[in-house]
Amino acid sequence: MRRFGIGLGIFFLCIILIIVLNTSLVKRASYFNEEYYRNTSALIDSIGPGILIVNDSVQAGFAKVSITPGTGNTEDIPSESKFMQVPLAGYGDREGRPATGIHDSLFVKAVALKAGNRTVVIAGADILIMPPNIIDTLTLLLAEKGIRRDQLFFSATHTHSGPGAWGPGFVGEQFAGKENSSIEKWLVSQIGKAVIAAIDDLSPARIGSGIFSAAPYTRNRLSGDLGTKNNDFAFIVAEQTGGKKAIIGSFSAHPTTLGDDNMEFSADYPGYWERKVEETSADMALFCAGSMGSQSPSGQGTGFEKAKFIGEALADSLVKNLDQVALNERITFSAMTLKIVLPDYHFRLTTKINLSSFLSRILMPPPGDVYLQVLRLDNMLWITTPGDFSGEYALLIKNSLAAQGFKANVTSFNGDYIGYIIPGKYYYIDEYESKLMGWFGPNMGDYTMEIIHRMTDIVSKQVNN
């Protein structure tokens, strides 16, 4: 018995030693002196002078492809969208359980825009995020067709009731269920179809944009009344000469009206918004997750009742604002895509202690190529980011650009994922967003903000052709 006690003591001592050797204190230093900052700054300096800002006639094309998976099949047949089972992605408490049915259909949608000789595509899907491994594979396939990564502006509705099975590593499996290569290949194919079909649909069009306040439908879940929040609903209208119209909308409340007890596929409140807009105002509606970091939905009811209330209320508010939007056949157009260099990658054991980068990489593969992007459509700057971007940060960006005569919107989940991008003042709070999802240190938010400001300065200059 004594020998057993000694052996157990040695075992726990080894565990403690392993933990000690694989942890470090959270680094506290200015990012200005860090190599990742200097490298990203050098990239901005090198590509900035080559960014063209044109004023030209515009074309638009639209496409919509189903990503509603059939389940209960005897085998996986991706070409027919049929699978044995598909987990829902979004909540770890579901423990990877498969969906039991379909409440509402899911789609990937794309809007292609062309001015001069430059074409870009805004693509979004009814899914938790645009998974990096899916987008990496898609990028390679589209490159074979001459479509570059810097032409692709991704987002997602961020529904927590969309298809999973795409998340590699232990952590990815907790949120998206066990990885399934058949489902991954299917998602690559469906998203690719939408992008290509939207480009094929390009024809002369008129473009406009707008913003309205939707304050009653979101709240700051991290700091409550002590913090601020991004209340704005931003939108882009694209209407082809033949009359076909698409509307891209973006709002910053998390689609979490449906909790982990829901086991049916659903696009949550963004799906209700899309369907109502397609019934009343457009041939296609595409929802892009806004600056959802720290922002939760607010509205009447619970579950699907609440999702319907928020989604349709936002659609009704949009309709009231559409008449105020001027549609132009000729627009000022520019786009910039920047691959950024990241700080060291860590999961945290406590608010002040990091797990080693080595063990963090075992738990979940780190991001590969990570991008920030800015698209200019006249006086609207549409900014995409690779994570849950803070609503408080987005508000600062919008206020700064408003002083220069620009509207702005910040979206999340642009094809990469680096966790939550929130103000450094929240980094040491013992909360989900700040501790569990703050993978790149306390400076990641301010570092990202500076890079965004420098990029918007470049694309907001005068026409140079």
| Residue 39: C-alpha distances to residues 36, 44, 424 (Å) | 5, 9, 21
What tens digit of pLDDT does each residue of 345-377 get? Answer: 888 888 888 887 778 888 778 888 999 999 999
Contact 89, 168 (CB under 8 A): no
Q: Is the pTM of this model over 0.75?
A: yes
What tens digit of pLDDT does each residue of 198-224 get? Answer: 999 999 999 999 999 999 999 999 888
Contact 308, 257 (CB under 8 A): no
- Cα–Cα dist 185/240, whole Å: 32
The answer on pLDDT for 92 being more than 60 is yes
Contact 423, 16 (CB under 8 A): no
- The fraction of the chain above a pLDDT of 70, given in percent, is 94
Q: Is 20 exposed, middle or buried (0-12, 13-18, 19+ CB in 10 A)?
A: exposed
What tens digit of pLDDT does each residue of 147-179 get? Answer: 999 999 999 999 999 999 998 888 888 899 999
Q: Strand, coil or helix: what is 133?
A: helix
What tens digit of pLDDT does each residue of 110-132 get? Answer: 999 999 999 999 999 999 999 99
Please provide the DSSP assignment of 338-371 as one string: EEEPP-----BSSSSEEEPHHHHHHHSPPP-SEE
The answer on pLDDT for 447 being more than 60 is yes
Tell me how many helices (H) and strands (E) the chain has.
10, 22
Write down the pLDDT at residue 281: 96
